[in-house]
Amino acid sequence: MEQSEKLQKILSRVGLGSRRHLEEVIAEGRVSINGSVAKLGDRALPKDIIRVDGRVIRTVPSKDQICRVFVYHKPEGEVCTKRDPQGRPSVFDRLPQLPNDRLINVGRLDLNTSGLLLFTNDGELAHRLMHPSSEIPREYSVRVFGEVTEAMISSMLAGVTVEDQVFKFDSVTFGGGEGINRWYNVVLHEGKNREIRNVFESFDLKVSRLIRIRFGDLTLDRSLPRGGWKELSADDVNYLRSLVDLPRQKTEPVNRHEEKETSTERRHRMAEIKRAVRRHQERRKTGNGEFKGSSHSGEIRARNSNVRKGRGRNSGTGVRRSGSR
């Protein structure tokens, strides 16, 4: 017998927003089930036709969905939206197309920031990982032009106010370099828009490179080329799910042959990823070729308010597991 589910849970799972936000959308009368306007508390079956703002939403029963997570090594110059009015390259261009499913980005990196970016087909997981209450640490490698003093670092740890917003780092450590350009590792747990750049610029320092190298205990594997992606193992998926109090998943994601591959097979696979990245870059330069990435179109916006966006094997996953949190 088919099991019904709460409407906001179904819509959240396909990446249209957090459950709380979708409750507001339902309360505004923007959702219908089989042609009738839905109300808070309504439930739906897999066979029901659900529309949001008149658009039919393709849903997947929870029992049929295998949670999949991909790590992507984002290069500079790519936007984190599916469609860009200026026609700039998107992080979705090179990601795989999932049959009858879509990928949702877990947070964003701005145009000039590179590094580790996560994508999942589980909207509930994505929104929990993004929510500030999860307090998941993110680590960035930052190249700074200018002298960073101990007094500046102390202020960054205590809290810096920029345009009426308070920014605060968990830690700032020297990462190497000589002369006027030096590297620092910065850890924070929320990741507000342009937070790192704003803080350093408030001290008249220029951030010339910014790379996300860790999310929780998952660290970027530098052997994964920029523009390359890999799917996480079940252990790493369950690690992320445990961070936000979601139940473990027993099913291993598909295409996980990398766990048993030889070193020669791994070299061949990584070489193929690099060739694919080069082909993509060449098509971008010439303007030829169409790219078909995920069908994700972004979460539903509130009409009259601004909605705030809110331990396993690592072989061949494109990430490494860090022991620190």
The set of catalytic residues is 110
Q: State the Cα–Cα distance between residues 237 and 252, nearest whole angstrom.
A: 9
DSSP 149: -
Of the candidates 216, 212, 219, the residue with the CA atom closest to the CA atom of residue 317? 219
Q: State the Cα–Cα distance between residues 81 and 117, nearest whole angstrom.
A: 13
Three-state secondary structure call for residue 155: helix
What is the CA 93 to chain-centroid distance, rounded? 15
Beta bridge partners of 176: 183
The tokens for 161 are 């106010």
Beta bridge partners of 166: 161
Contacts (Cβ under 8 Å, ≥6 apart) of 237: 67, 68, 69, 249, 253
Pairing of strands 114-120, 206-215: parallel
Which helix (DSSP H) or strand (DSSP E) does residue 25 occupy?
A: helix 19-27
The tokens for 220 are 């970027």
